[in-house]
Amino acid sequence: MTALLEAQGLTRSFGVSQGMFKARRTLHAVNGINLDIRKGEVLGIVGESGCGKSTLARMLLGLLPPTAGKIALDGQDIHTLGRKGMARRVQPVFQDPYSSLNPRRTIASIVSLPLEVHGIGTAAERRKKTLDILDKVGLPQRFADRYPRELSGGQRQRVAIARALVMNPEIVVCDEPTSALDVSVQSQILNLLMDLRRELGLTYVFISHNLAVVEHIATRVAVMYLGRVVELAETEALFKAPRHPYTKALLTSVLTPEPGAGIPETGLGLAFPDPLNPPPGCPFHPRCPERMAQCSTITPRFTEHGRDAVACHLHDPELRASTPRNVVTLNANTALKQKENS
Amino acid sequence: MTDTILEVDGLSVDIATPRGTLHAVRDISFSVRRGETLCLVGESGCGKSMTSLAIMDLLPKAAKRNARRLAFAGQDLSKASKRQINALRGNRMAMIFQEPMTALNPAYTIGNQLIEAYRQHKNASEAEARERAIFLLSKVGIASAAERLGQYPHQLSGGLRQRVMIAMALMCGPELLIADEPTTALDVTIQAQILRLLADLQRELGIAMLLITHDLGIVARIADRVAVMYAGQIVEEGPTASLFQSPKHPYTQGLIDCIPVPGRTVPGGRLGVIPGVVPSLVGDIRGCSFRDRCSRTQPICSQAPPVYETPDGQRWRCILEDAA
C-alpha cells in the first residue's frame, strides 16, 4: 500500500500564558511525528487527553499549520494545495454534533455548503446530490428542510458525516466521532462508517480514546503519548502483543464486559503526564513499570519490527544487544548516542 | 430487614415543563444491601442521575419527588425533616460526582473542604479532623498528604481531584456511597485506577455502593447486582453474572450487543443496533416503554408488561418469560 497522506517531522507548539508577569511557556502538543496514511486503511489514533491527537487531526486536515515538518498528499505538499484544494480531498467529522452544525441553517443547506463554496453544480444539482448523500447516511429525505435542533445526537452525527462525504473526499478524519453518543447510537454510527468505507473506498483516520471501538474499526493503530507516536502496529498485532509498556497499560485498562474479571491493576502509579512539563528522556518513564536507567535521559528511537514500530528502549535491538537490561551505565548511553550521531 | 441499607419503593420524579409534566423517574423500586454494589445503568435521559439526586434530596427546584417509601437504614427519608436529612447527608450517606472540578470549591483548600463536614457532623476538633483527612488522603493513594491539604483543587490533576472527592466522601465513615459516573471525565488508565480504589475501599470498609454509569464494562467488573433503566423505569435487574450471561429484557440484550467486545464481535463486522429513539417522557407512557424499538413487539405490548423473576433474583418487565 502506498502512502496517501504523509506527515514528516510534524511538530506543533503553542505559547501558553502563565499569568501576567510570567514568561509564556511553550507547549509541544505534537512533537516530531512521522506518519503515513495508506490508501484504503483505517488508521486508529489512540491516546489519553492532552496527548496531541486532536492537534494532529487538525494539522492533517490542513486546518492548523505545523510549527515544523510537513504534510504531503499524494506526494504533494499540502501547503501548495491550499485550503480549498485540501478540503476537496480530506474532510472532517468532529466529536460533538451539537456544536459542529450551524443551528440557523437547515440540514440541506449544511450538507450542501461545501458544494456551494467550491462552486460545484447548479442549485438543482446540488439539491439532488444533497438528497442522495442524506439517503446514503440513512437519513430520510424529509429531514432536508429541518434544523439541527429537531434531530437527535445520532441523527446529527449522520448529518456531519453527510457533509463530509458530499465532496467525495478520499480521506475522512474522524475525531472522536462517537464519544458524545449513547452506546446504542454509537454502534449505528460505527456500522455506517464501515459501510460507507466499503462502498466508497474511503480512507479513515479514526481518533478515539475508546480502545474497544478502535480495535473494532481500525486496521492499523498509532498510540500517542505526550505529543509523540510511541507505537504503530497492525491492529491485530497491537492488541495481541503490545510492545510499548504504555500500550500494555492502556490495553489493561480497557474494561470489557466480563462479569467477575474485576478491576485490573495498571501498574502506572500516581504520576500523571503534564504536557507543559514533559519529562526528559522517554516521556512515559515516570509512569513506566519497566523503566531502566537510560529511560530518564535518552529519548528512545523509533525502531521497526517487521511491519510494526515502537519507540522504547526495551525494544531497541542495538541497545538490547550491547547491554543487558537494567545494567545500562551512563557511559554506555553516551557511547550509543555518539554512535547514533556519527 | 436489617441488612438493607437503602430501600426505594415506588420512587417517581416529575419535572414541570412548558409542554407538560416530564416523568423522569417512573415508579421505580430497588434496594441496596449493606456492603454490596448496585449499578444503575442506562443511556442518557433514562433517569439514573435523577434517581441518585432524589435519594440524596438534591433534586433541582423544578423537580418533585414522590415515593411510597425511601428508607435509609430503616429511617424513611421521604418523611424526614431537613435537619434530619442534613445530619445523614455527607455523614452516613455520601456522594461522589462525575466532574470533581465542579464539585470541589475552587476558593478553598483541599484541607478546608475535607475538614469542614467532619467537624460539623462529628463535633471533632480541628486537629482530629486534620489527622483523619491525612489518613484518608494516604488511603486513597495520595503521597505527601499533609502538604496536599494546603493546596487548591486547580493545582491537582483530574485523577487526583477524584481521589480527593473519594477521600472527602469517606471522611465521616459513610454506610452508603452514591457515585454518579465517577470516572466518566477521566482517561482510561486513570479510570481503572479510580475504580480499583473504590472497589478496594468498599470491600475493606464494608460500605454499600450505588454506582450510576452508562458503561457496561464498568458494570460487569464492579457490580454485585445491576438495575437497567429505560425511559425512567427499571426494566431489568439481577445478579451481575446472570444478567450478562442471560439478559432477559430485549433492551438489555440490545445494549449488550451494541458494544464491540474483542473475541465476541468480529473486527470490522456489524454491531447490534437498537433502532429508533427513546419515547418522550412528557405525559404518560402506556404499555411497555420499549415497544416501539423492540424487534419482538406484539399487540399485547400496549398493555403494562408483567414482571417475571428467576429463583436467583433476576427480574424483568416484559411479556416474554424467556426472551433468549
Task: Decide if B258 and A215 are in contact by the 8 Å CB cutoff.
Answer: no
pLDDT in tens, A59-74: 999 999 999 999 999 9
Q: Radius of gyration over alpha carbons of chain A, in Å?
A: 22
Measured CA to CA, the distance from residue B177 to residue B190 in angstroms comes to: 20
> Are A31 and A169 members of one domain?
yes
Looking at the structure, tell me whether residues A193 and A177 fall in a common domain.
yes
Please check whether residue B118 lies inside any domain of the structure.
yes
**DSSP 3-state of A322:** helix
CA separation for the pair B158, A180 (Å, rounded): 19
Instruction: Assess whether A272 and A316 both reside in one domain.
Output: yes
Query: What percentage of chain A has pLDDT greater than the value 70?
Result: 93
Chain A residue with the nearest C-alpha to that of B222: A262
Residues of A in contact with B268 (CB under 8 A): 194, 216-217, 219
- Residue A264 pLDDT: 92
B182 shares a domain with B42: yes
Q: Which residues of B touch A48 (CB under 8 A)?
A: 187-190
B73 and B28 together in one domain? yes
Q: Quick one: average pLDDT of A201-205?
A: 96
Burial class (CB in 10 A: 0-12, 13-18, 19+), A214: buried
The two counts, helices (H) then strands (E), for chain A are 11, 12
Q: Which residues of chain B fall short of a pLDDT of 70?
A: 1-2, 323-324
Query: Which of B43, B265, B190, B268 minimizes the C-alpha distance to A206?
Result: B268
Report the CATH number at residue A219: 3.40.50.300
Residue A339 pLDDT > 50 = no
CATH number at residue B305: 3.40.50.300
> Does residue A66 belong to any structural domain of this protein?
yes
- Is B32 a domain residue? yes
Phi, psi of B65, rounded to the nearest 5 degrees: -105, 140
Mutate to test the interface with B, among A42, A158, A216 (most CBs of B within 10 A): A216
Average pLDDT rounded to a whole number, residues A5-29: 87
What pLDDT sits at residue B239?
97
DSSP string, A61-112: TTSS--SEEEEEETTEEHHHHHHHHHHHHEEEE-S-TTTSS-TTS-HHHHHH
C-alpha–C-alpha distance, residues B290 and B318, integer Å: 9
Q: How far apart are the first and last CA of chain B?
A: 34
Residue with more model confidence, B1 or A115: A115
Q: Is B194 exposed, middle or buried (0-12, 13-18, 19+ CB in 10 A)?
A: buried
Which of B157, B221, B265 is nearest residue A216 as measured by Cβ atoms?
A: B265
Q: What is the Cα Rg of chain B in Å?
A: 21
- State residue A1's pLDDT score: 54
Euclidean distance between CA atoms B135 and B206, whole angstroms: 18
Pairing outcome for strands B37-41 and B4-17: unpaired
Between A228 and A342, whose confidence is greater?
Answer: A228
- A230 is a domain residue: yes
Based on the fold, state whether residues A211 and A256 are members of the same structural domain: no
| DSSP-derived 3-state class of residue B205 | helix
| Closest of B236, B264, B260 to residue B324, by C-alpha | B236
Q: Is residue B324 part of a domain?
A: no
Contacts of A123 (CB under 8 A, 6+ apart): none
Smallest CA-to-CA distance from B319 within B41, B302, B311 is with B302
By C-alpha distance, which of A221, A219, A230, A211 is closest to A315?
A: A230
Compute the half-sphere exposure of residue B247: CA atoms within 13 Å on the CB side of its CA: 19
Residue A309 in any domain: the answer is yes
The per-residue pLDDT for range B74-100, each reduced to its tens digit, is 999 988 999 999 999 999 999 998 877
Claim to verify: residue B186 and residue B233 sit in the same structural domain: yes
Quick one: average pLDDT of A22-33? 88
- Asked whether residue A127 is domain-assigned, the answer is no
pLDDT, position A336 = 40
Residues A47, A89 within the same domain: yes
In a domain, B133, yes or no: yes
Cβ distance of B267 and A272 shorter than 8 Å: no
Asked if residue B322 belongs to a domain, the reply is no
Report the sign of the C-alpha dihedral through residues A239, A240, A245, A249, in that order: positive
Whether residue B225 sits in one domain with residue B119: no
Domain that holds residue A304: 244-341
Q: How many domains does chain A have?
A: 2
Residue that terminates a domain, selected from A206, A236, A266: A236
Q: Is residue B323 part of a domain?
A: no
Give the β-pairing of B176-180 and B208-213.
parallel
Supply the range of the domain harboring residue B112.
Answer: 99-171
Q: What is the mean pLDDT of chain A?
A: 88
Q: Is B239 exposed, middle or buried (0-12, 13-18, 19+ CB in 10 A)?
A: middle
Q: Which of B171, B198, B223 is the last residue of a domain?
A: B171
A48, A236, A256 ranked by CB distance to B189: nearest: A48
> CB count, 10 Å around CB of A152?
15
Instruction: Write the DSSP symbol of residue B282.
Output: B
Task: Please answer whether residues B104 and B153 qualify as being in contact, where contact means their C-beta atoms are separated by less than 8 angstroms.
Answer: yes
Residue B84 lies in a domain: yes
Same domain, A232 and A248: no
Model confidence over B267-295: pLDDT tens digits?
A: 888 999 998 888 889 988 889 999 999 99
Interchain proximity A212–B220, CB inside 8 Å: no
**Does residue B196 sit in the same domain as residue B114?**
no
The pLDDT confidence band at residue A110, using thresholds 50, 70 and 90, is very high
**If you measure CA to CA, which chain A residue comes closest to B252?**
A184
Burial of B16 (0-12, 13-18, 19+ CB in 10 A): exposed
pLDDT at A333 over 70: no
Looking at B145, B171, B197, the residue that finishes a domain is B171
Q: Does A150 reach chain B within 8 Å, measured CB to CB?
A: no
Q: Per the structure block, which three cell numbers stand in for B92? A: 452516613
CA A280 to CA A261: how far, in whole Å? 37
Verify whether the Cβ–Cβ distance B216 to A257 is below 8 Å: yes
Q: What is the pLDDT of residue A320?
A: 62
Question: What single-letter amino acid sits at B308?
Answer: Y
Residue A335 or B27, more confident: B27
Instruction: Please indicate, yes or no, whether residues B44 and B82 belong to a single structural domain of this protein.
Output: yes
